[in-house]
Amino acid sequence: MRVNKTKSILKSGGTVHGCFITYPEPSLAEFVAMQGWDFLVFDGEHGTLQPRDIENLTRAAELRDVTPIARVTANQPHLILRYLDTGVQGLHVPWVNTPEGVEAAVRAMKYGPRGNRGLAGVRAADWALSGSIGEYTVDANRETLVVIHIETAQAAEAVDEYLEIDGVDVLFIGPTDLSHSLGHPGQIDHPDVVTSMDRIAAAVAPSDVALGIYAGTEERAIQWSEKGARYLCTGSDGFLKQGMVAYLDHVRGV
């Protein structure tokens, strides 16, 4: 099983940068991977990606030695199992609103004795051709990155309890959903939203768990890095829009 380079960097205290991919096109994923990202997140929540798509996108990321990660549709064991079996090296688990939900997500992502993930000779295990299934379970528990979303007011209030749960690698702020939950949809700079995010950052940044966040611009990524975030994500769509608009404005003399 491959070493999870992104997890290794985080565990050594470093910072990693990743990009969300929503399109089921391996060539695009490979092209994006070649730009220097530490990891790619294949989005099965806000997109059409199915496990089959993510398996092929994972192959593209592996080809360029970039960590493949997926965002599952929901915190449900049977979905988590199918996404992990594709060979991704970690999962974003959205809408985790209680400590019990965090524990359930960790258990679904880990093999025994920590968890109850179903075991089979699938692609993630190299179809049991590269070593024993027993050895694979140990490697998978060590290398799989567990990213838990904090994107509701309820989750934000429970952050201290989340930090007590063994097996969580990243607590990830979703600013847009959090703003919606706080009654200010889309207003991620609203004082109530900023206060909530800053409280999360203050709790997570000094801990052994990495603070993660979606930062759609360079300025936000730098801002949150200064607040202690070490797992920083953006989206490919923003780059497409920025580059295309700038090009058309320039050639049209706008």
Angle at 174 between CA 173 and CA 178, to 5 degrees: 105
The angle, 0 to 180 degrees and rounded to 10, between the axes of the packed helices 99-109 and 77-84 is 40
Q: Which residue, 187, 74, 240, is CA-closest to 197?
A: 187
Q: DSSP secondary-structure letter at 87?
A: T
Alpha-carbon gap, residue 24 to 47, rounded angstroms: 9
Alpha-carbon gap, residue 11 to 5, rounded angstroms: 10
**Beta strand residue intervals within the chain, DSSP E:** 16-21, 39-43, 67-71, 90-93, 145-150, 170-173, 210-214, 229-235
46: annotated active-site residue? yes
Q: What is the largest CA-CA distance in the chain?
A: 63
Amino acid at 201: A
Q: Which of 17, 46, 184, 190 is catalytic?
A: 46
Please give the structure tokens belonging to residue 173: 């702020």
The distance of Cα 32 from the centroid of its chain, to the nearest Å, equals: 16
Catalytic residues, by residue number, are 46
